[in-house]
Copies of this chain bind each other. A is one copy, B any other.
């Protein structure tokens, strides 16, 4: 059985110029089960944001190379992900300005780790509710709602096992493109199972039995010989 917590590992972008605080944040976040990405400057932050697409931003104001507010505005324009601002400044005006520009929360230094973690949790919790909203995949009679966690065939829901569901979601997220055996095994079973293509065959078979009208001549779940599998695109 796969690890449940592995599914909800969040990547957090931390923008902080002070090396000491940066280390402190890195350790705390990692200890709490997150994957922190560290940036020292706004430019670096923007790069990482686009590159890694972290779940949220933790931004320390007062960076050397520019105004933190501009980063908030920029990111808010592109994404709905949570932004939490840390700052040494206590002034109400600063807070109001940040919040108005699109920040979701503002935490003044000095703060406790526990409060920081709690506020991160709040932000992520809320985001998860909104996030899976309009992700939907459809080809012919097969329809996959990631939001509802439902898979429909000719309109009526069909029942998948957790593993089959994971597998199908994985394919649906890269619909139309080939996913290699290794990729699928890595994503569904974990890194240790990367070579056991055997598992894949079995469960692909079971998936086809439920999804395909004629499993011997699959219309949705295409096998790419010697490479992997692919979910047909519209």
List A residues at the B interface (Cβ < 8 Å).
1, 8, 80, 92-93, 95-96, 99-100, 103-105, 112, 114-115, 117-119, 121-122, 125-126, 129-130, 147-150, 161-162, 165, 176-178, 182, 186, 191, 224-227, 230
Contacts and interface: CB of A to CB of B under 8 A. Distances in A.
Contacts of A122: 99, 103-105
Contacts of A121: 99-100, 191
Given A148-B177, A162-B225, A225-B161, A100 B129 contact: no
A100 B1 CA distance: 11
Contact of A115 (B95, B161, B226, B227): B95
Contact of A148 (B99, B112, B162, B178): B178
A110 to B, nearest CB: 11
Given A112-B92, A149-B224, A225-B161, A100 B118 contact: yes
Nearest to A177: B148
Nearest to A94: B115
A168 to B, nearest CB: 13
Given A92-B115, A225-B162, A126 B148 contact: no
A229 to B, nearest CB: 11
